[in-house]
Amino acid sequence: MENYGFNTIAVHGGNPGDKGTGSIGLPIHLTNAYRFENTEHAKNLFELSKFGNIYSRIMNPTSDAFEQRMAQLEGGVGALAFSSGHAAIFNTIVNLANAGDEIVSSLYIYGGAINLLGTTLSRLGITVKFVNPDDLGAWEEAITDKTRGFFVETIGNPNANVADLQPIADLAHKHGIPFVVDSTFTTPYLCRPIEFGADFVVHSATKYISSYGGVMGGAVIDSGRFEFKDNPRFPLYNQPDPSYHGIIYADLGAPAFILRMRTLLMRDIGACLSPFNSHQLCTGLETLPLRMDRHSQNALKVAEYLENHSAVSAVNYPGLKSSRYNGLVNKYFKDGMASSVFTFVLAGGKQAGADFIDSLKLIVHCANVGDAKSLVSHPATTTHSQLTPERLLKAGITDGTVRLSIGIEDVNDIIADLEQAIK
């Protein structure tokens, strides 16, 4: 599909068609296993000397279509689908780091990811150091000879800070460290992090990619550019793996990362995506470009409306000309579009925030973002409630912070709902 444009790949990428039936729709292969031609064929598959389907924990033709479409849209050499965004992040980190190793992460990330990286990984012996992503010096200071990766979100959660990808990538690469970018809020339509130095891109497909908030899913895309061979930080890739015939993953070349993730981690940890969900996510991708245009246009209008409202003390939307991140939006995102998740602060503080949310009629109060429907939440009491007060403050979340995820409805209806709720 390389010669086609983004919109075409979003519709057709990865769909092999179905020769048997002529089906135009992507078939949903609800099967756990695949018939071997004979014992020789089975042996070759297990030895990886021949590629083919073995068992749906490790590969499935419907999930393969989703994976190929994601890899093509991001410009990577391969992708792997996961049962959720968190599964994608967890597997990415443990595909780089062992107990005793370290990761450096932006501190402005999804609240759940702060818990995953800061608490659960630390119990497994992987230390994550959190830094202010805007402070390049802090990234550099955090590097030790144990550092195995940098982690950042394109648009941070929840205050919509934009990461300056290129300098962070350059710094990582100067030290032989891979750069992992969570591009959930931008999707490949608004930003292709591989073009700006990302080695591995992760997504919660649960959000914009799923389109209507119906299924969970995640994806990891491998740029194929990170050089593991003889990199002293990665004995993981340079020493024989006894659990797979003594394979040395670095010797596999470009797709070493994604192949190791599939053959080793998907085999052992098993956070695979259901083929039904893969089908839903492929359908979501078909309209992703149309929806992201509308999401971004609506969000900008809503942010401009809020910015001019006397009851609002701050609006953190990077698409606003007044945002300190607007320059980075223009540098990294398509046509200056800034997606549709952001926060604002009501001057009345916590009680005003709660009254406001309880007065909304159209905008749905829930713990999700990136749905076709407009959504609202109060991070301090929901998504980020498991964080300590210090971590909350560090993440830039106050009692009066309200998070919006602007949908694709008529923008006048969204603004009218905000207006009556603020009143």
Ligand X SMILES: *Cc1c(COP(=O)(O)O)cnc(C)c1O
- Minimum distance of ligand X from residue 292's CB (angstroms): 15
Ramachandran region of residue 48, left (φ > 0), alpha (ψ -120 to 50) or beta? left
> What residues does 103 pair with on adjacent strands?
128
Q: Which residue is nearest to ligand X (CB)?
A: 85
Q: At its nearest, how many Å lie between ligand X and the CB of residue 316?
A: 15
Cα gap 325→155, rounded to integer Å:
10
When asked if residue 85 is in the footprint of ligand X (CB under 6 A), the reply is yes
Which candidate, 412, 388, 400, places its Cα nearest to that of 114?
388
Rounded to 5 degrees, φ, ψ at 312 are -110, 125
Burial of 136 (0-12, 13-18, 19+ CB in 10 A): middle
How far is Cα 268 from Cα 261, in angstroms, rounded to an integer? Answer: 10
Closest CB 281 distance from ligand X, rounded Å: 11
Pairwise CA distance, residues 255 & 259, whole Å: 6
| φ, ψ of residue 248 in degrees (nearest 5) | -110, 105
Q: What is Dmax (Cα atoms) for the chain?
A: 74
- Beta carbon of residue 109, minimum distance to ligand X (angstroms, whole number): 7
Binding to ligand X, residues 93-122 (CB under 6 A) = 110, 112-113
Q: Which C-beta is closer to ligand X: that of 213 or that of 218?
A: 218
| Residues binding ligand X: number (CB under 6 A) | 17
Q: Which of residues 297-356 bind ligand X (CB under 6 A)?
A: none
Q: Using CB under 6 A, which of the segments 18-26, 78-86, 119-127, 393-401 binds ligand X?
A: 78-86
Nearest alpha carbon to residue 344 among 421, 392, 397: 397
Q: Determine the interface stretch with ligand X among 82-90, 96-104, 355-363, 397-405 (rule: CB under 6 A).
A: 82-90
Find the helix or strand (DSSP H, E) in which 343 lies: strand 341-346
Binder of ligand X out of 74, 164, 182, 222 (CB under 6 A): 182
Site string for ligand X, 388-407 (x = CB under 6 A): --------------------
Residue closer to ligand X, measured from CB, 236 or 387:
387
**Nearer residue to ligand X within complex by CB, 164 or 417:** 164
Residue 135 has which token pair?
Answer: 């402070």
> Of 376, 187, 366, 193, nearest to 293 (Cα)?
187
Structure-block tokens of residue 163:
């990461």
Please select the residue that binds ligand X; options are 84, 105, 161, 277, rule is CB under 6 A: 84
Residue closer to ligand X by CB (options 86, 129) is 86
| Nearest to ligand X of 93, 422 (CB atom) | 93
Name which of 45 and 273 has its Cβ closer to ligand X: 273
CB of 83 to ligand X, least distance (A): 8
Binding string, residues 189-228; x marks residues near ligand X by CB under 6 A: ---------------x-xx--------x-x----------
What the block records as the tokens of 323 is 């945002």
Among 127, 161, 184, 263, binds ligand X (CB under 6 A): 184
Bond from prior residue into 158 cis (ω within 30 degrees of 0):
yes
DSSP state for residue 320 in the 8-state scheme: S
Which residues from 141-180 bind ligand X, rule CB under 6 A?
153, 157
* Of 338, 294, 301, residue with least CA distance to 419: 301
Binding site for ligand X (CB under 6 A): 84-86, 110, 112-113, 153, 157, 182, 184-185, 204, 206-207, 216, 218, 369
